[in-house]
Chains A and B, each alone.
Chain A
């Protein structure tokens, strides 16, 4: 967990100046910043307004995925649309039913915007702004047609809900809660059991505009603080991702696979590593920077059997899968026996886009008496990589994926 929190800190620190948090905290809007390149696409920053709106503490939110605010009545097709926007690294604006910590649902206008690296066009973060949709605006602007249709019932409902909230105010002996209820800046009253919360809700222009202004304020803070570090970010993708870099949605999917493996690209000269999992780095002792772009042969050493290497070469040439037992070396020169499985991985056009190499050392073999055997685990990694590569190269714009 601490390791994870460290990574989250790093997500902002590596890109922006140290004062970025302070500057973001000065903004009064409700928003989160998430990092799609990290496993689980976690929230790496949350604004005070957002915490106030949802009733969570910062510790409860940081490191979690944004789906924690959704609940049983959240429209699934809206969630699908958000998921697709994230995958395609695009922005989206949508009305969404979210849930507070105490379980009460409320409608927000949600605007999501990607933040790109100016230099290589990779996605860095997503900014998500949530503007609560006011009940009275729902009634006067959005729900007008419905109210016209059934005037009596709606009036009745409105009265009933008013009555309920009054009762709550009376019951509440805390002045602060009363303040909370009367404060226009606090989220809209959600105690509306009388009103059908799952009824689709439309944001009005005012709410849409508030979201747009918030996004532009946040982006200007981020841009400014990235200038200080020299690692500039921007709102629109300015350059096409460099050859050899995986599109970030593929990176994200691969990050979910908790096994030691690398991806190499046979379409680039000398077949360099284009992806290395955290477990691979742990196993070999190298950092990501030290392995990306290099051919896998640096893992071999003086006692590595050359006939094994030849066998690997053959299977790469014939685009066939193979399993070998090979002596490999860590960064600290210590050696280990690696039950290596290599397999070609095809993209959506059916062409071999990568080779995946899954490592298995003696430790991996010992584990899991009650679980799957290590061989199956190794193969499941191949399967998960295949699904990720194929699915994510199906849409245009991520064709290298």
Chain B
């Protein structure tokens, strides 16, 4: 078993060191998100109009050209609720008091000095050699956060109608809500977590519906500087409960400015390119006939990676119009002792934001000396080798571009030791009808 020791990020005020973790049962009285407290609770609901079938010649951002949504998703709702939690002192530090700068140079890496983020926490052992691990209810998960940490619910409008905002929507436990909660250790203003169907307790694993939800959130925000990110287990996710992160930083990320080389146009019109002149090798997905088509291509690729135990990060940029997929091997290298002590000492965990070029540094000296060269050196360690990357890409394309049942035979099956997870997955599929049977990603056990 490969593992690394790291200080876990505290995302909720209810997240204690594992040793102190006390399970809360029935009507815990702490106003948590679990079934004991949430039935009937009133949480604002932002019910968005689904864009599945909409194909728009000018991209997907123009959905509100004719009708104005009742509430501006990002500028009013998210920022307003976030500021409200800030005034209530729910965050562990004031992120706007953390020094930040664009590192001079060609690429524009962004550095932030954040000395408070990792205080008061002991390093914990994290297993990094399994991208899919079963959900463990005894560990911290988002059903344990307090309701005051939840900003609003973010769900498709059930009736297929226009976007609606309901300030006091009672929660129905049967219909597991998807919520947006604050990250109490923010790395920028507006840092939130999107937790799809929080009560279903999905482990950190991409599924098509949740991924589409994340894309909708980016489209709904309608601001290219509000991005979503995803870290798989083994790629610096610390909580094994399905979540995406998002924050607002009105500066272009270096990864977004990197040139790309087109590789392939998929059957749905989705264009896949390869990142060029960037330290981390990765794929870029854009275009497509609909948001759904784009979403499916990326989630299929993610599903392939996770089922084949390849850790990865995802950045949803440009209002959901451009998605970066970055397989990585840093944690594995770290566990095998292949990362230089110099890099390890910076304690920078290269998750999605770092890979995109936003470096959160813990030590003053690293911040003062931050240079393009240093950032590049760290990120180069994150990347797969050229050979391995091409190999992985070829396999991804085999899976995502065909999509017919025959390919299931040839698609890579789960390794033996993963069979438990696979059985679980099949069970989960049977239990919840919401997952479409795609045929291509089935585990052959």
Residues on A facing B (Cβ under 8 Å): 70-73, 75-77, 80-81, 83-84, 99, 103, 198-199, 253, 256-257, 321, 345-346, 348-350, 370-373, 375-380, 382-384, 386-388, 390-392, 394-396
Residues on B facing A (Cβ under 8 Å): 57-59, 70-71, 75-77, 79-84, 87, 94, 96-102, 104, 108, 110, 165, 167, 189-190, 224-225, 248-252, 256-260, 262, 271, 286-287, 317-318, 321-322
Q: A350-B96, A372-B80, A383-B190 are in contact. Are A72 and B287 (CB under 8 A)?
A: yes
Which of these, B77, B82, B287, contacts A372 with CB under 8 Å?
A: B77
Which of these, A70, A71, A348, A387, contacts B100 with CB under 8 Å?
A: A348
Are B83 and A76 interface neighbours, CB within 8 A?
Answer: no
25 contacts between A and B (CB under 8 A): A72-B58, A75-B260, A76-B256, A76-B322, A77-B260, A80-B224, A80-B256, A257-B75, A350-B97, A350-B98, A371-B71, A371-B76, A372-B76, A372-B165, A377-B80, A378-B80, A379-B80, A380-B80, A383-B83, A383-B190, A388-B250, A392-B250, A394-B101, A395-B101, A396-B102
Are B96 and A390 interface neighbours, CB within 8 A?
Answer: yes
Q: A76-B322, A387-B190 are in contact. Are A395 and B102 (CB under 8 A)?
A: yes
Once bound together, how far apart are the Cα atoms of A377 and B101, in whole Å? 29
Once bound together, how far apart are the Cα atoms of A103 and B55, in whole Å? 14
Complex contacts, A345 vs chain B, CB 8 Å: 96
- Top 10 A-B pairs ranked by shortest CB distance? A383-B79, A380-B80, A391-B250, A376-B80, A379-B83, A383-B83, A380-B79, A350-B97, A346-B96, A380-B76
Q: A379-B83, A380-B80 are in contact. Are A348 and B71 (CB under 8 A)?
A: no
Are A77 and B257 interface neighbours, CB within 8 A?
Answer: yes
Are B251 and A394 interface neighbours, CB within 8 A?
Answer: yes
Once bound together, how far apart are the Cα atoms of A322 and B319, in whole Å? 34
Complex contacts, B58 vs chain A, CB 8 Å: 70-72, 99
Complex contacts, B322 vs chain A, CB 8 Å: 76
Closest beta carbon of chain A to B265's beta carbon, Å: 9
Are B79 and A370 interface neighbours, CB within 8 A?
Answer: no
Chain B residue with the shortest CB-CB distance to A370: B70
Closest beta carbon of chain A to B80's beta carbon, Å: 3
Closest beta carbon of chain B to A204's beta carbon, Å: 20
Are B97 and A373 interface neighbours, CB within 8 A?
Answer: no
Closest beta carbon of chain A to B269's beta carbon, Å: 9
Once bound together, how far apart are the Cα atoms of A257 and B76, in whole Å? 10
Are A380 and B190 interface neighbours, CB within 8 A?
Answer: no
Complex contacts, A375 vs chain B, CB 8 Å: 84
Are A383 and B165 interface neighbours, CB within 8 A?
Answer: no
Complex contacts, A349 vs chain B, CB 8 Å: 99
Once bound together, how far apart are the Cα atoms of A380 and B72, in whole Å? 10
Chain B residue with the shortest CB-CB distance to A346: B96
Once bound together, how far apart are the Cα atoms of A253 and B251, in whole Å? 12
Are A376 and B57 interface neighbours, CB within 8 A?
Answer: no
Closest beta carbon of chain B to A339's beta carbon, Å: 14
Closest beta carbon of chain B to A226's beta carbon, Å: 31
Once bound together, how far apart are the Cα atoms of A380 and B76, in whole Å? 5
Are B79 and A387 interface neighbours, CB within 8 A?
Answer: yes
Closest beta carbon of chain B to A109's beta carbon, Å: 17
Which of these, B100, B108, B167, contacts A373 with CB under 8 Å?
A: B167
Once bound together, how far apart are the Cα atoms of A199 and B87, in whole Å? 50
Once bound together, how far apart are the Cα atoms of A391 and B70, in whole Å? 27
Q: A257-B75, A371-B165, A383-B189 are in contact. Are A376 and B256 (CB under 8 A)?
A: no
Once bound together, how far apart are the Cα atoms of A216 and B130, in whole Å? 60
Closest beta carbon of chain B to A106's beta carbon, Å: 15
Once bound together, how far apart are the Cα atoms of A72 and B271, in whole Å? 11
Which of these, B249, B250, B317, contacts A253 with CB under 8 Å?
A: B250
Q: Which of A81, A83, A257, A371 neighbours the largest number of chain B CB atoms within 10 Å of its CB? A: A371
Chain A residue with the shortest CB-CB distance to B271: A198
Once bound together, how far apart are the Cα atoms of A348 and B256, in whole Å? 21
Once bound together, how far apart are the Cα atoms of A71 and B56, in whole Å? 10
Are A72 and B59 interface neighbours, CB within 8 A?
Answer: yes
Complex contacts, A350 vs chain B, CB 8 Å: 96-100
Which of these, B57, B189, B257, contacts A84 with CB under 8 Å?
A: B257
Complex contacts, A198 vs chain B, CB 8 Å: 262, 271
Are B100 and A390 interface neighbours, CB within 8 A?
Answer: yes
Once bound together, how far apart are the Cα atoms of A77 and B107, in whole Å? 12
Once bound together, how far apart are the Cα atoms of A394 and B357, in whole Å? 14
Are A384 and B77 interface neighbours, CB within 8 A?
Answer: no
Complex contacts, A388 vs chain B, CB 8 Å: 250
Closest beta carbon of chain A to B356's beta carbon, Å: 12
Complex contacts, B59 vs chain A, CB 8 Å: 71-72
Complex contacts, A394 vs chain B, CB 8 Å: 100-102, 110, 251
Complex contacts, B250 vs chain A, CB 8 Å: 253, 387-388, 391-392
